[in-house]
Each structure stands twice: as C-alpha cells, then as structure tokens.
Amino acid sequence: MIQRIQTLFLLLVAIAMIVATLTPIWLQVSPMQNQTMEMTAWQTSILELPQEDLISQEGNIYIGILCLLASALAIYSLLQFKNRKKQLMLNMINALLMGLTLGLTVFSSYKANEQFNPTVSGAFVLGFYCIIFALIMNLIANRFIRKDEMLIRSVDRIR
C-alpha cells in the first residue's frame, strides 16, 4: 500500500480537503475599506475593520460537509488498494464531489459578492486553491491506479 505512489496522492487529497475546511476560501473588502467579507467552508461573515467586530453571518455548512465527505472518501479509497476497480470508481465519485464543491464555492462567492460589493470581485484564497489542488491530485492518483491495472492485466496475459 505505502509503496504505491497513488497512496501519496490520495493522502494529499484528504489533507487538502481538510485544509479547505479550516482556512478561508474567499475574501472581499468594501470600497471604503471599513468592512470585509470572509467566506469559509462553514460560514460567510461580514466584519467591521479595524477591530474585526462581527456584523452579520450566514451559514455555508454544505461546502464544509462536502469537503469532509470528499476527504473521507479519499481515505476510504486509499484503504481499498487491493481492489483497483473499486478504487477507480471511488475516485471518480470523489472527483464529482470535489467538482460540485468547487462549483458551489464559486456560486456562493458570486452571490456574496453581489450583495456586498458588486463593482469589484473578491479574491479566492488558500481554501479555494486547496480544493483545486485536491481535484488535480485525485486525477493523478486515478492515472496511476489505471497504470497499475494495465500492468497487472499485461502480466496476466503473459502467463
């Protein structure tokens, strides 16, 4: 299990999705620079600057749940190293989950930007890029799993 490179990639997927739940995903500052809007995987908050008093807060719990679900699925897929076909299918489902997470994140940030400051777009930060990184690592893991499967099939054909 450990000697296979896709194990490392699947572990990176799980870690990146957990980091996405713990760090901000999107930030926006008001035109007068007295308020900031921060979106995490769990909530969208508007804070008063410079003392960062909370003005309002909305829940984004669906993004956090999807991130944790994708992380758990990556770990489960990592443990299914003896059944490569099942591992491939789990990773494809995980790619769909992460794509849905990415889409919901962009949609939520667009909606939040519309009500906060529609003239200027906000900035995606570490949490957003962790989701993209996890998606890429998942695709690379799938490639190596497929490569292993082809190698096993070719060895079986020789026998």
Q: Residue 156: its pLDDT value, please? A: 65
pLDDT in tens, 17-49: 999 999 999 998 877 778 888 899 999 888 887
Query: What is the extent of the structural domain holding 121?
Result: 5-158
CA distances from residue 157 to 94, 113, 143 in whole angstroms, order as listed? 31, 57, 21
Domain count of the fold of the chain: 1
Q: What are the residues whose beta carbons fall under 8 Å from the beta carbon of 59, sequence distance 6 or more?
A: 42, 43, 44
Q: State pLDDT tens for residues 99-118.
A: 999 999 999 999 988 888 77
Say what the pLDDT of residue 138 is.
95
**For residues 136 and 92, what is the distance between their CA atoms, to the nearest angstrom?**
12
pTM for the predicted model, two decimal places: 0.88
CATH code of residue 81: 1.20.140
Confidence of residue 75 (pLDDT cuts 50, 70, 90): very high
Report the pLDDT averaged over residues 3-18. Answer: 91
